[in-house]
Copies of this chain bind each other. A is one copy, B any other.
Amino acid sequence: MATPILVSFIGSGNLAWHLAPALDNMGYVIREVYSQNPNHAEALTKRLYQAEIKASLDFSTSDSKVFIMAVSDDAIADIAREIILPEDAILVHTSGSQPITELQFAATQNLGVFYPLQTFSKSKKIDFKEVPVFIESQTEEAEEILMQLAHSLSKEVRKIGSDERKALHVAAVFASNFSNHMLTIAKEIMQQNSLDYEWLKPLITETINKSMYLGPDQAQTGPAKRADLEILDSHLEFLKEQQPIAEIYKVISQHIIDSHYEG
């Protein structure tokens, strides 16, 4: 890179925690970090080569080119309205569910979306090469620079619109948040019955390996897949003191039965 692109972050949550250092390591310069929580901003700047903590959303004197909002979805529109940017700045959000129009009241037309499809937690390192990045942009300049950022991080970069990105995000909630929550419930049931959660780990590993290998539809097994109503009833009876979990058991089992025996 001839002149490095300067970048500022708004937000210091799980995504910023991984994305800012990853860009830093690829030769971009992270100049500033703003966060509602100054302690979080400080912790993140410590992971970066030359970033400073920013106390307000007035970036009028900033020399950054790209402003990446890694904030909760409901904060995007407000911050876009409030933020004061230098001339020709590019403002992007990183949300799967929010359309690019969420940024429309910002004082720039140089708008974009930079959506890395992954689950980020501060305590688990991420290899960005394996994280697909989805780009949307309102200007050619924004597209060019976001594509450059994305390609230097990831081997899988796609341009998609806001509607497709939303569908992708809903699918991702099932694939990641909900599949993980099934493991949380499994762990709870094991603990409530003084059984060792470790015993389930080979099953979990094989379930995912098989699902990747055969496809999840072909990999399905279990009493609902076999429409074994007697077992389903006995499991619901077992869960009768825990209505929310019984309800989850019921609606998922019904959907498995319907997918295999109808349509």
- Which residues in B have their C-beta under 8 angstroms from that of A228? 72-74
A229 closest partner in B (C-beta): B74
A186 to B241, CA, bound (A): 30
A43 at the interface (CB under 8 A from B): no
Are B167 and A120 neighbours in the complex by a CB distance under 8 Å?
Answer: no
How far apart are the CA atoms of A173 and B199 in the complex, in Å? 13
Interface of A is mostly: helix
Interface string of A47-81 (1 = CB under 8 A from B): 00000000000000000000000001110000000
User: Which stretch, A82-90, A135-143, A210-218, touches the partner chain B?
Assistant: A210-218
10 A-B pairs with CB atoms under 8 Å apart are A74-B228, A119-B219, A171-B190, A173-B235, A174-B185, A176-B204, A177-B256, A181-B256, A186-B216, A251-B251
Please encode chain A, from 218 to 252, with 1 for each CB lying within 8 Å of some chain B CB and 0 for all others.
Answer: 11111111101011001100110000110111011
State the CA gap A136–B5 with chains docked (Å). 65
A195 close to chain B: CB less than 8 A: yes
Give the docked Cα–Cα distance between A201 and B156 (Å).
12
Asked whether A207 lies within 8 Å of B175 as measured between CB atoms, the reply is yes
